[in-house]
A and B are shown apart, each in its own frame.
Chain A
Amino acid sequence: MSDRAAHVEVDGDVTLVSLELDVDFESEQAIVSAVSSALVLERPVLVDMSDCTFLELRALRALSDAYHQARAHHLPFVVVLPFDGAPLVRRLMLELVCELAPFPIAPTRVDARRRLAARPTGPESAQLSSLRRRLWEHGAATKKLLARRDELILEQRRALAEL
């Protein structure tokens, strides 16, 4: 069996997905399951690859797909890839097929958390959209009321003039 692992845990305000040892073809489903679980929790997703010793193309593609899923759910998604991480993993993600790694990459968990904190989380983002929509609706309603008030004033003036 391949040495592989994908663990999911809630760590503070983020969902932490740890990919460890050899992440290869057989890990593809584990990554998909892990990130699906993370998305269900509706928290920002932090994928830590600090202990990843080998990364295969299909596993990287699964990670890339997971990132796009997270974006569709308005969930921030950051991958931790330390400077002293496995050279092969770094070379694959940063050089050989870097287009398969479109997600933000941070060298440490602290940096990753800073990145996650800088963006609105999923629920917060949705809340912000809702507030903007209500503000727009209120603004439109205010304009309508002011227009109606002006009409009433004009009607009142005409009525007074007729008297």
Chain B
Amino acid sequence: MTQAHLELVLPAVPDSIPAIRRAVGDAAVELHADAAAVDSVKLAVTEAVTNIVRHAYGEDGGEIHVAVEAGTRTLVVWVVDEGGGVVAHAHDDEGGYGMRLMRALSRSCDVSSGVDGTSVRMVFPLAGGEAES
């Protein structure tokens, strides 16, 4: 990862979802993303973070790590947990809509999962209309 514009570590609880959404949205604005791109980032990150809150950890809870960095005319967002890995995320998006949404909203969406948790890396164009290219 290059120098992150934003780094957040918050507990995996419902109240963290809007907080992360706002912080990531603000970071996207600061990195000169247009309104459509900011919307895409907020929705996709909300989806990834909600999956963590719902499925990644057991009763003991855990943390959500979020990082935003500037790419070349892009914005790269990492959403990482240290939970149950791919098994915990197996029913992540209830019918596949969540993953489909993240892929539709970003230029690329890569998910890697193991026993140490799951990492989602999404790349967004700074101009929202370019996501589908």
Which A residues fall within an 8 A CB radius of B? 1-3, 22, 24-26, 54, 56-58, 61, 87-88, 91-92, 96-97, 100
Contact = CB atoms under 8 A, between A and B. Distances in A.
Contacts of B35: 87
Contacts of B54: 25
B96 to A, nearest CB: 10
Contacts of A96: 101, 104-105
B11 interface: no
Q: How large is the interface on B (under 10, 10 to 19, 20 to 34, 35 or more residues)?
A: 20 to 34
Interface of B: 14-15, 17-18, 21, 35-36, 39, 42-43, 46-47, 50, 53-54, 93-94, 97-98, 100-101, 104-105
B28 to A, nearest CB: 13
Interface secondary structure of A, over-half rule: helix
A1 B15 contact: yes
B17 A24 contact: yes
A54 B42 contact: yes
Given A87-B35, A87-B39, A58 B50 contact: yes
Contacts of A54: 21, 42-43, 46
Contacts of B18: 1-3, 22, 24, 26
A99 to B, nearest CB: 9
Nearest to A25: B50
B39 A24 contact: no
A100 to B, nearest CB: 7
11 contacts: A3-B18, A22-B21, A25-B17, A25-B46, A54-B21, A54-B43, A57-B47, A87-B36, A87-B39, A88-B42, A100-B97
A92 B97 contact: no
A52 to B, nearest CB: 13
A84 to B, nearest CB: 14
Given A2-B15, A26-B14, A56 B47 contact: yes
Contact of A25 (B14, B36, B39, B93): B14
Contacts of A87: 35-36, 39
Contacts of B43: 54, 56, 88, 92
Contacts of B105: 96
A26 B17 contact: yes
A160 B9 CA distance: 104
A116 B53 CA distance: 38
A100 B15 CA distance: 25
A47 to B, nearest CB: 20
Contact of B39 (A56, A88, A97): A88
